């Protein structure tokens, strides 16, 4: 049974390897190029962030950086006085539970961002390397 199976594998493999590879139809190339042209004409903001123009990538990072800096430097704008008066309890909770940990929270968020970026780069590298080995 096993020998028969091996024999069958060899026979089929030999016959299939003799088959000429199907060739792409002549319509494929113009079709792909038309799709690529249409894709390239898309506005930059509909593309992946990595494909944005450098200036816009930097510009999009600026608000995030500013926010992180503001939180880090305790420059979050103070709420209006009426809200302050009504939120003494929440301020107390903030001061007791969140405030002591804020630097660590910011640190964790930054670390997570860095780790995600590193994993993304590593995956990209590994996939291309694996493709190269095949």
Note the residues at the interface with other proteins (CB under 8 A).
Answer: 5, 8-9, 11-13, 15-25, 27-29, 31-33, 35-37, 39-40, 48, 51, 127-134
By C-beta, is 1 or 78 nearer to other proteins? 1
CA–CA separation, 98 vs 104, rounded Å?
Answer: 10
Nearest distance in Å: CB 59, other proteins: 22
By C-beta, is 27 or 82 nearer to other proteins? 27
By C-beta, is 48 or 62 nearer to other proteins? 48
Nearest distance in Å: CB 113, other proteins: 23
CA–CA separation, 14 vs 7, rounded Å?
Answer: 11
Nearest distance in Å: CB 50, other proteins: 9
CA–CA separation, 52 vs 46, rounded Å?
Answer: 9
By C-beta, is 15 or 88 nearer to other proteins? 15
CA–CA separation, 111 vs 113, rounded Å?
Answer: 5
> 68 vs 52, 58, 73, 75, 105, CA distance in Å?
22, 15, 8, 10, 11
Nearest distance in Å: CB 131, other proteins: 4
**Sign, Cα dihedral of 30, 32, 37, 41:** positive
């Amino acid at each position: 049974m096993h020998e028969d199976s091996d024999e069958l594998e060899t026979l089929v493999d030999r016959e299939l390897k003799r088959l000429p590879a199907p060739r792409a139809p002549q319509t494929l190339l113009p079709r792909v190029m038309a799709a690529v042209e249409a894709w390239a004409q898309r506005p930059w903001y509909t593309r992946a962030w990595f494909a944005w123009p450098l200036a816009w990538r930097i510009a999009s990072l600026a608000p995030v950086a500013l926010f992180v800096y503001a939180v880090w430097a305790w420059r979050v704008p103070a709420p209006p006085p009426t809200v302050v008066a009504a939120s003494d309890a929440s301020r107390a909770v903030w001061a007791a539970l969140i405030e002591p940990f804020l630097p660590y929270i910011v640190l964790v968020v930054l670390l997570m961002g860095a780790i995600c970026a590193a994993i993304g780069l590593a995956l990209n590298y590994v996939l291309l390397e694996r493709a190269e080995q095949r």
